[in-house]
Amino acid sequence: MHPDLSNIMMLESEEPNEPGGEKAPSPKNIFNLNEKARKVLLAVSIVLIVILAINYNFFAAPAEHPGGTKFAITSGMTISEAAEYLSENNIIKSPTVFKTLVFIMGGRSGVIAGSYFIEHPVSVFRIAMMVTTNGYGIKMYKVTIPEGLSNRQIADLLAKNLDNFDKAKFLKLAKDKEGYLFPDSYFFEPESTPEKVIEMMNDNYNEKIKMVNLDIVFFNKPIKDIITMASILEEEARTENTRRMIADILWRRIERGMSLQVDASFVYLLGKGSAELTVDDMKIDSPYNTYKYKGLPPGPITNPGLASILAATKPLKNKYWFYLSDKDGIMHYAVTFEEHKLNKERYLR
Protein backbone atom coordinates (compact mmCIF):
# COMPACT_ATOMS: atom_id res chain seq x y z
CA MET A 1 0.00 0.00 0.00
CA HIS A 2 1.20 3.45 -0.81
CA PRO A 3 2.53 5.16 2.33
CA ASP A 4 0.58 8.34 1.68
CA LEU A 5 -2.70 6.44 1.25
CA SER A 6 -2.15 4.40 4.37
CA ASN A 7 -1.59 7.55 6.36
CA ILE A 8 -4.81 9.01 5.04
CA MET A 9 -6.75 5.86 5.92
CA MET A 10 -5.25 5.84 9.40
CA LEU A 11 -6.20 9.47 9.95
CA GLU A 12 -9.80 8.89 8.81
CA SER A 13 -10.18 5.92 11.20
CA GLU A 14 -8.97 7.82 14.21
CA GLU A 15 -11.22 10.10 16.19
CA PRO A 16 -9.86 13.61 16.11
CA ASN A 17 -8.93 15.20 19.42
CA GLU A 18 -10.27 18.48 20.71
CA PRO A 19 -7.71 21.03 21.81
CA GLY A 20 -6.26 19.91 25.11
CA GLY A 21 -6.41 16.26 24.13
CA GLU A 22 -10.14 15.62 24.83
CA LYS A 23 -12.20 13.72 22.34
CA ALA A 24 -15.06 15.45 20.49
CA PRO A 25 -18.56 14.09 21.14
CA SER A 26 -19.45 11.11 19.06
CA PRO A 27 -22.45 11.18 16.68
CA LYS A 28 -24.31 9.04 19.26
CA ASN A 29 -23.96 11.71 21.99
CA ILE A 30 -25.09 14.47 19.63
CA PHE A 31 -28.21 12.42 18.75
CA ASN A 32 -29.05 12.01 22.46
CA LEU A 33 -28.95 15.79 23.04
CA ASN A 34 -31.25 16.42 20.10
CA GLU A 35 -33.69 13.84 21.45
CA LYS A 36 -33.97 15.67 24.79
CA ALA A 37 -34.53 18.96 23.02
CA ARG A 38 -37.16 17.31 20.85
CA LYS A 39 -39.05 16.07 23.94
CA VAL A 40 -38.98 19.53 25.53
CA LEU A 41 -40.18 21.08 22.28
CA LEU A 42 -42.96 18.50 22.04
CA ALA A 43 -44.10 19.20 25.63
CA VAL A 44 -44.15 22.96 25.02
CA SER A 45 -46.11 22.43 21.81
CA ILE A 46 -48.71 20.32 23.62
CA VAL A 47 -49.11 22.98 26.32
CA LEU A 48 -49.53 25.68 23.67
CA ILE A 49 -52.09 23.58 21.81
CA VAL A 50 -54.05 23.02 25.03
CA ILE A 51 -53.95 26.75 25.83
CA LEU A 52 -55.08 27.63 22.31
CA ALA A 53 -57.85 25.03 22.49
CA ILE A 54 -59.07 26.37 25.84
CA ASN A 55 -58.91 29.92 24.53
CA TYR A 56 -60.83 28.95 21.38
CA ASN A 57 -63.50 27.03 23.25
CA PHE A 58 -64.00 29.35 26.21
CA PHE A 59 -62.34 32.74 25.87
CA ALA A 60 -62.27 33.65 22.19
CA ALA A 61 -65.21 35.28 20.43
CA PRO A 62 -67.70 32.87 18.82
CA ALA A 63 -67.34 32.21 15.10
CA GLU A 64 -70.83 33.70 14.64
CA HIS A 65 -69.87 36.84 16.61
CA PRO A 66 -71.80 39.82 15.11
CA GLY A 67 -68.99 42.33 14.63
CA GLY A 68 -69.96 45.98 14.21
CA THR A 69 -73.00 45.70 16.46
CA LYS A 70 -74.49 47.06 19.65
CA PHE A 71 -75.70 45.16 22.69
CA ALA A 72 -77.55 46.45 25.74
CA ILE A 73 -77.34 45.59 29.42
CA THR A 74 -80.71 46.66 30.78
CA SER A 75 -81.42 48.16 34.18
CA GLY A 76 -81.79 45.47 36.84
CA MET A 77 -80.20 42.72 34.72
CA THR A 78 -78.32 40.20 36.86
CA ILE A 79 -74.89 38.78 35.98
CA SER A 80 -76.49 35.44 35.06
CA GLU A 81 -79.11 37.12 32.87
CA ALA A 82 -76.41 39.18 31.15
CA ALA A 83 -74.32 36.03 30.57
CA GLU A 84 -77.25 34.18 28.98
CA TYR A 85 -78.18 37.22 26.86
CA LEU A 86 -74.60 37.61 25.55
CA SER A 87 -74.30 33.89 24.87
CA GLU A 88 -77.63 33.71 23.02
CA ASN A 89 -76.53 36.63 20.83
CA ASN A 90 -73.17 34.98 20.02
CA ILE A 91 -71.13 37.68 21.76
CA ILE A 92 -69.49 35.21 24.19
CA LYS A 93 -69.07 31.44 24.16
CA SER A 94 -69.14 30.47 27.82
CA PRO A 95 -71.59 32.08 30.29
CA THR A 96 -69.68 30.44 33.15
CA VAL A 97 -66.36 32.00 32.16
CA PHE A 98 -68.07 35.38 31.70
CA LYS A 99 -69.72 35.26 35.14
CA THR A 100 -66.41 34.31 36.76
CA LEU A 101 -64.56 37.16 35.07
CA VAL A 102 -67.26 39.70 35.90
CA PHE A 103 -67.16 38.68 39.55
CA ILE A 104 -63.35 39.00 39.58
CA MET A 105 -63.36 42.38 37.81
CA GLY A 106 -66.49 43.96 39.22
CA GLY A 107 -67.14 42.14 42.47
CA ARG A 108 -70.72 42.14 43.71
CA SER A 109 -71.53 45.37 41.87
CA GLY A 110 -72.12 43.23 38.79
CA VAL A 111 -72.72 44.60 35.31
CA ILE A 112 -73.35 48.24 34.41
CA ALA A 113 -76.58 49.01 32.53
CA GLY A 114 -76.08 50.69 29.19
CA SER A 115 -75.57 50.22 25.46
CA TYR A 116 -72.22 48.96 24.17
CA PHE A 117 -70.69 48.92 20.71
CA ILE A 118 -68.39 46.21 19.35
CA GLU A 119 -66.59 47.10 16.12
CA HIS A 120 -64.82 43.72 15.81
CA PRO A 121 -65.21 40.36 17.58
CA VAL A 122 -63.44 40.49 20.94
CA SER A 123 -62.62 38.01 23.70
CA VAL A 124 -64.76 37.35 26.73
CA PHE A 125 -62.09 39.17 28.78
CA ARG A 126 -62.76 42.37 26.84
CA ILE A 127 -66.55 41.95 27.08
CA ALA A 128 -66.34 41.41 30.86
CA MET A 129 -64.16 44.50 31.22
CA MET A 130 -66.56 46.58 29.11
CA VAL A 131 -69.65 45.76 31.15
CA THR A 132 -67.95 46.21 34.52
CA THR A 133 -66.26 49.54 33.70
CA ASN A 134 -68.70 50.94 31.09
CA GLY A 135 -65.83 50.93 28.62
CA TYR A 136 -66.84 51.56 25.00
CA GLY A 137 -70.28 52.44 26.36
CA ILE A 138 -72.47 54.67 24.22
CA LYS A 139 -73.52 57.92 25.86
CA MET A 140 -76.76 57.25 27.73
CA TYR A 141 -79.39 59.48 29.31
CA LYS A 142 -80.86 58.40 32.63
CA VAL A 143 -84.58 59.13 32.81
CA THR A 144 -86.58 58.34 35.96
CA ILE A 145 -90.28 57.74 35.36
CA PRO A 146 -92.15 58.23 38.69
CA GLU A 147 -95.07 56.01 39.68
CA GLY A 148 -98.48 57.29 38.65
CA LEU A 149 -97.61 59.18 35.46
CA SER A 150 -99.97 58.89 32.52
CA ASN A 151 -98.65 58.20 29.03
CA ARG A 152 -99.11 61.88 28.23
CA GLN A 153 -96.97 62.91 31.19
CA ILE A 154 -94.34 60.29 30.30
CA ALA A 155 -94.18 61.69 26.76
CA ASP A 156 -93.57 65.20 28.12
CA LEU A 157 -90.79 63.92 30.39
CA LEU A 158 -89.09 61.96 27.61
CA ALA A 159 -89.23 64.95 25.25
CA LYS A 160 -87.31 67.00 27.83
CA ASN A 161 -84.58 64.39 28.18
CA LEU A 162 -84.13 62.77 24.76
CA ASP A 163 -83.05 64.38 21.52
CA ASN A 164 -85.80 64.97 18.96
CA PHE A 165 -88.20 62.64 20.73
CA ASP A 166 -91.49 62.25 18.82
CA LYS A 167 -94.20 62.71 21.46
CA ALA A 168 -97.09 62.33 19.03
CA LYS A 169 -95.79 59.03 17.72
CA PHE A 170 -95.14 57.79 21.26
CA LEU A 171 -98.72 58.57 22.34
CA LYS A 172 -100.15 56.89 19.26
CA LEU A 173 -98.09 53.71 19.69
CA ALA A 174 -98.56 53.59 23.48
CA LYS A 175 -102.33 54.11 23.36
CA ASP A 176 -103.04 50.51 24.39
CA LYS A 177 -100.11 50.41 26.82
CA GLU A 178 -101.50 52.83 29.42
CA GLY A 179 -100.89 51.16 32.77
CA TYR A 180 -98.32 48.75 31.34
CA LEU A 181 -95.30 51.06 30.97
CA PHE A 182 -93.50 50.37 34.20
CA PRO A 183 -92.30 53.39 36.23
CA ASP A 184 -88.57 53.02 36.86
CA SER A 185 -85.16 54.54 36.11
CA TYR A 186 -84.09 53.87 32.53
CA PHE A 187 -80.94 54.45 30.50
CA PHE A 188 -81.84 55.58 27.00
CA GLU A 189 -79.65 56.43 24.04
CA PRO A 190 -79.98 60.09 22.98
CA GLU A 191 -81.78 59.16 19.77
CA SER A 192 -84.06 56.49 21.27
CA THR A 193 -87.21 56.01 19.23
CA PRO A 194 -90.74 55.82 20.67
CA GLU A 195 -90.83 52.16 19.62
CA LYS A 196 -87.67 51.37 21.58
CA VAL A 197 -88.81 53.28 24.67
CA ILE A 198 -92.20 51.56 24.71
CA GLU A 199 -90.57 48.15 24.24
CA MET A 200 -88.17 48.72 27.14
CA MET A 201 -90.85 49.98 29.53
CA ASN A 202 -93.36 47.29 28.62
CA ASP A 203 -90.72 44.54 28.88
CA ASN A 204 -89.85 45.89 32.32
CA TYR A 205 -93.52 45.72 33.31
CA ASN A 206 -93.69 42.08 32.15
CA GLU A 207 -90.67 41.24 34.30
CA LYS A 208 -91.74 43.16 37.40
CA ILE A 209 -95.32 41.86 37.38
CA LYS A 210 -93.92 38.36 37.91
CA MET A 211 -92.95 39.47 41.42
CA VAL A 212 -96.63 39.78 42.41
CA ASN A 213 -98.00 37.09 40.12
CA LEU A 214 -99.10 34.81 42.98
CA ASP A 215 -100.99 37.67 44.65
CA ILE A 216 -102.76 38.38 41.36
CA VAL A 217 -103.67 34.71 40.88
CA PHE A 218 -105.03 34.33 44.42
CA PHE A 219 -107.04 37.55 44.17
CA ASN A 220 -108.89 35.99 41.23
CA LYS A 221 -109.77 39.13 39.25
CA PRO A 222 -108.80 40.00 35.66
CA ILE A 223 -105.35 41.57 35.39
CA LYS A 224 -106.83 44.54 33.51
CA ASP A 225 -109.17 45.28 36.44
CA ILE A 226 -106.31 44.99 38.93
CA ILE A 227 -104.03 47.34 36.97
CA THR A 228 -106.91 49.80 36.48
CA MET A 229 -107.67 49.77 40.22
CA ALA A 230 -103.95 50.15 40.98
CA SER A 231 -103.78 53.18 38.69
CA ILE A 232 -106.61 54.81 40.69
CA LEU A 233 -104.99 53.96 44.03
CA GLU A 234 -101.74 55.50 42.78
CA GLU A 235 -103.54 58.86 42.50
CA GLU A 236 -105.90 58.57 45.47
CA ALA A 237 -103.41 57.69 48.22
CA ARG A 238 -99.74 57.76 49.07
CA THR A 239 -99.22 55.15 51.81
CA GLU A 240 -99.61 51.39 51.76
CA ASN A 241 -102.22 51.39 54.51
CA THR A 242 -104.48 54.02 52.90
CA ARG A 243 -104.17 52.38 49.49
CA ARG A 244 -105.31 49.07 50.92
CA MET A 245 -108.15 50.75 52.85
CA ILE A 246 -109.37 52.53 49.72
CA ALA A 247 -108.98 49.37 47.65
CA ASP A 248 -111.44 47.61 49.95
CA ILE A 249 -113.92 50.51 49.76
CA LEU A 250 -113.76 50.71 45.95
CA TRP A 251 -113.98 46.96 45.31
CA ARG A 252 -117.04 46.80 47.60
CA ARG A 253 -118.64 49.78 45.86
CA ILE A 254 -118.28 47.95 42.55
CA GLU A 255 -119.84 44.80 44.03
CA ARG A 256 -122.78 46.85 45.35
CA GLY A 257 -123.33 48.50 41.97
CA MET A 258 -122.35 51.93 43.31
CA SER A 259 -120.39 54.50 41.32
CA LEU A 260 -116.77 54.91 42.42
CA GLN A 261 -116.87 58.73 42.44
CA VAL A 262 -113.09 59.11 42.33
CA ASP A 263 -111.59 62.42 41.24
CA ALA A 264 -108.41 60.75 39.97
CA SER A 265 -110.08 59.83 36.69
CA PHE A 266 -110.54 63.53 35.90
CA VAL A 267 -106.79 64.07 36.00
CA TYR A 268 -106.56 61.55 33.15
CA LEU A 269 -109.66 62.87 31.39
CA LEU A 270 -109.21 66.64 31.74
CA GLY A 271 -105.84 67.15 33.38
CA LYS A 272 -107.59 68.61 36.44
CA GLY A 273 -107.17 67.71 40.10
CA SER A 274 -109.89 67.65 42.76
CA ALA A 275 -109.46 71.33 43.67
CA GLU A 276 -109.95 72.43 40.05
CA LEU A 277 -113.06 70.41 39.20
CA THR A 278 -116.32 72.23 38.49
CA VAL A 279 -119.91 71.00 38.57
CA ASP A 280 -119.93 70.95 34.78
CA ASP A 281 -116.75 68.87 34.70
CA MET A 282 -118.42 66.20 36.80
CA LYS A 283 -121.28 65.98 34.30
CA ILE A 284 -119.05 65.28 31.31
CA ASP A 285 -120.21 62.29 29.27
CA SER A 286 -117.24 59.94 29.32
CA PRO A 287 -116.77 56.35 30.54
CA TYR A 288 -113.88 57.76 32.59
CA ASN A 289 -116.34 59.89 34.55
CA THR A 290 -116.72 57.66 37.61
CA TYR A 291 -119.52 59.89 38.98
CA LYS A 292 -121.67 59.32 35.90
CA TYR A 293 -120.74 55.72 35.07
CA LYS A 294 -120.56 52.80 37.51
CA GLY A 295 -117.69 50.39 37.80
CA LEU A 296 -114.09 50.80 36.79
CA PRO A 297 -113.01 53.08 33.94
CA PRO A 298 -112.39 51.36 30.57
CA GLY A 299 -108.70 51.00 31.41
CA PRO A 300 -105.85 52.27 33.59
CA ILE A 301 -105.56 56.03 34.04
CA THR A 302 -101.88 56.01 35.09
CA ASN A 303 -98.91 53.66 35.05
CA PRO A 304 -98.84 52.29 38.62
CA GLY A 305 -95.89 50.90 40.54
CA LEU A 306 -95.69 47.52 42.26
CA ALA A 307 -96.83 48.91 45.62
CA SER A 308 -100.18 50.05 44.20
CA ILE A 309 -100.62 46.84 42.21
CA LEU A 310 -100.03 44.84 45.37
CA ALA A 311 -102.44 47.07 47.34
CA ALA A 312 -105.14 46.42 44.74
CA THR A 313 -104.80 42.67 45.39
CA LYS A 314 -104.64 42.99 49.18
CA PRO A 315 -107.56 45.21 50.26
CA LEU A 316 -107.67 45.95 53.98
CA LYS A 317 -111.11 45.03 55.29
CA ASN A 318 -112.97 47.94 56.88
CA LYS A 319 -116.50 49.23 57.50
CA TYR A 320 -116.30 52.48 55.52
CA TRP A 321 -117.95 53.46 52.23
CA PHE A 322 -116.58 56.98 51.78
CA TYR A 323 -113.23 58.72 52.14
CA LEU A 324 -111.55 62.03 51.44
CA SER A 325 -108.09 63.52 51.81
CA ASP A 326 -107.70 66.86 53.56
CA LYS A 327 -105.34 69.67 52.57
CA ASP A 328 -102.50 68.02 54.51
CA GLY A 329 -102.99 64.68 52.78
CA ILE A 330 -104.58 63.00 55.82
CA MET A 331 -107.33 60.53 54.93
CA HIS A 332 -110.74 60.69 56.63
CA TYR A 333 -113.29 57.89 56.33
CA ALA A 334 -117.07 57.70 56.77
CA VAL A 335 -119.63 54.93 56.98
CA THR A 336 -122.61 56.97 55.76
CA PHE A 337 -122.97 59.71 53.19
CA GLU A 338 -124.11 62.11 55.96
CA GLU A 339 -120.85 61.50 57.80
CA HIS A 340 -118.99 62.04 54.54
CA LYS A 341 -120.68 65.41 54.02
CA LEU A 342 -119.68 66.43 57.55
CA ASN A 343 -116.08 65.47 56.78
CA LYS A 344 -116.23 67.66 53.69
CA GLU A 345 -117.43 70.63 55.74
CA ARG A 346 -114.86 69.98 58.43
CA TYR A 347 -111.75 69.25 56.37
CA LEU A 348 -112.24 70.83 52.95
CA ARG A 349 -113.95 74.17 53.68
Nearest to residue 242, comparing CAs of 220, 250, 282? 250
pLDDT at 35: 66
pLDDT at 127: 82
pLDDT at 290: 93
Distance between CA atoms of 104 and 175, rounded to whole angstroms?
A: 45
The last residue of a domain, from among 210, 237, 269: 210
Total structural domains in the chain?
3
User: Could you tell me if 228 and 342 lie in one domain?
Assistant: yes
DSSP structure class, residue 123? -
**Angle at the Cα of 154 (from 221 to 273), degrees rounded to 5?**
75
User: Could you tell me if 279 and 343 lie in one domain?
Assistant: yes
Bridge-based pairing of strands 185-188 and 141-144 is antiparallel
Residue 56 lies in a domain: no
User: Could you tell me if 231 and 344 lie in one domain?
Assistant: yes
User: Could you tell me if 173 and 254 lie in one domain?
Assistant: no
Which pTM was predicted? 0.65
CB-count exposure of residue 345 (10 Å: 0-12, 13-18, 19+): exposed
User: Could you tell me if 186 and 153 lie in one domain?
Assistant: yes
User: Could you tell me if 120 and 151 lie in one domain?
Assistant: no
pLDDT-based confidence at 245, cuts 50/70/90? Answer: very high
pLDDT-based confidence at 144, cuts 50/70/90? Answer: very high
User: Could you tell me if 193 and 258 lie in one domain?
Assistant: no
Task: Report the interhelical angle of 124-133 vs 95-106 (nearest 10°).
Answer: 40
Backbone angles phi, psi at 68, to 5 degrees: 65, 45
Q: Which of 53-67, 97-111, 228-242, 280-294 has the highest mean pLDDT?
A: 228-242
Q: Which of 75-79, 251-255, 271-275 has the highest mean pLDDT?
A: 251-255
The last residue of a domain, from among 210, 237, 255: 210
pLDDT at 318: 96
pLDDT at 54: 45
Residue 9 has pLDDT above 70, yes or no: no
33 contact partners, CB below 8 Å, separation of at least 6: none
C-alpha count within 13 angstroms, C-beta hemisphere, residue 4: 0
**287: containing domain:** 221-348
User: Could you tell me if 238 and 328 lie in one domain?
Assistant: yes
Residue 225 lies in a domain: yes
Residue 47 lies in a domain: no
101 contact partners, CB below 8 Å, separation of at least 6: 124, 125, 128
Residue 33 lies in a domain: no
Bridge-based pairing of strands 331-334 and 322-325 is antiparallel
User: Could you tell me if 339 and 232 lie in one domain?
Assistant: yes
Residue 30 lies in a domain: no
Residue 181 lies in a domain: yes
Residue 168 lies in a domain: yes
Q: How many helices (H) and strands (E) does the chain have?
A: 14, 6
The last residue of a domain, from among 210, 234, 257: 210
Q: What is the CATH number of the domain that holds 171?
A: 3.30.1490
User: Could you tell me if 128 and 236 lie in one domain?
Assistant: no
Nearest to residue 180, comparing CAs of 309, 268, 87, 77? 309
User: Could you tell me if 342 and 225 lie in one domain?
Assistant: yes
Q: Which residue has the higher pLDDT, 172 or 93?
A: 172
User: Could you tell me if 251 and 334 lie in one domain?
Assistant: yes
Residue 265 lies in a domain: yes
Residue 19 has pLDDT above 90, yes or no: no
Q: Which residues of 167-177 are buried (b: 16+ CB within 10 A; e: fewer)?
A: eeebbebbeeb
Mean pLDDT of 264-280: 80
Amino acid at 109: S
